[in-house]
Every structure is written in C-alpha cells, then in structure tokens.
Amino acid sequence: MKKNTFLQVIKFVLFSASAGIIQTVSFALLNELLHWPYYLGYLVALTLSVVWNFTFNRRYTFKSAANIPVAMAKVAGFYAVFTPISTYLGHLAEVAGFNEYLILFVTMASNMILEYLFCKFVVYRGQEYTREEKK
C-alpha cells in the first residue's frame, strides 16, 4: 500500500470514528430518551454523521477540490442504496431480538469500509490532492 493511501485510510478511520461518536450519541439520545423506533433514530443519526464525515474527509483525507455539489450527489447516491438496505436489515435484526447497539455497530463498520472504497474509487477518483492549502 502506498504511503499516501495508508495515511488516507488512517485519516478516514479517525474521521469516521468521530462521525461514529456523533451517530452513536445521537442514536442513544433518540433511542433512550425519546424512545424513537430503531429505524427513525438510525436515519437521523446516520444523516448527522454523514454530513460531518463528508465535510472532513473531503477537506483533510482526500484533499479534494472536487465540485462539492457533484461530490455530495455521489455520496447521496451511495446512501440512496446503503440506507434502505441497512435500515431494513437493522429492522429485521431488531425484530429477531438482536441488541440495537450491536446492530448499530455492525452497520457502522460496514458503512465505514464501503464508504471509504466508494469515496476513493468513485467520488474523488482522479481528484485527490487537488485542494490548495491556505497559508
């Protein structure tokens, strides 16, 4: 693995971890305090983490000057597929008796791996390290 790719993976994991904290805390608040159904709390928490993760990874991990609306549309396309599948599978797992937090953790880990690959090879392909750093 090239040095740049290794550093990208590390940065992506760290920013994803911070997004994961946002997702977990917001999910916990919605689940424990407001007693929202799993799918609704998951969708709100996921949306918050996606916006956070996109913003930081575009700027610091991929250092991309890619057109923001185009890049965000591609990420939205990823989530247009990932979200209904993960929400439905999470609902099935919850109905089957799995713990909500175990479901959330497995979903978040799958999301991180798939989203990194999607960003690397689709969203920012050919547009990495194109952002000029301000001095």
23-80: pLDDT as tens digits = 999 999 999 999 999 889 989 998 999 999 999 999 999 999 889 999 999 999 999 9
19: domain range? 3-123
CA angle 129, 115, 124 (to 5 degrees): 25
Asked whether residue 15 is domain-assigned, the answer is: yes
Confidence of residue 1 (pLDDT cuts 50, 70, 90): low
Asked whether residue 130 is domain-assigned, the answer is: no
What does the pLDDT read at residue 48? Answer: 95
Tokens 């918050």 — which residue?
A: 48
Length of the chain equals 135
Confidence of residue 2 (pLDDT cuts 50, 70, 90): confident
Asked whether residue 39 is domain-assigned, the answer is: yes
Report d(CA 87, CA 84) in Å as an integer.
Answer: 5
Asked whether residue 128 is domain-assigned, the answer is: no
What does the pLDDT read at residue 27? Answer: 92
| Mean per-residue pLDDT, 7-18 | 94
Asked whether residue 134 is domain-assigned, the answer is: no
Asked whether residue 55 is domain-assigned, the answer is: yes
Asked whether residue 131 is domain-assigned, the answer is: no
Number of domains the chain is built from: 1
Question: Is the pLDDT score of 134 beyond 70?
Answer: no
Asked whether residue 102 is domain-assigned, the answer is: yes
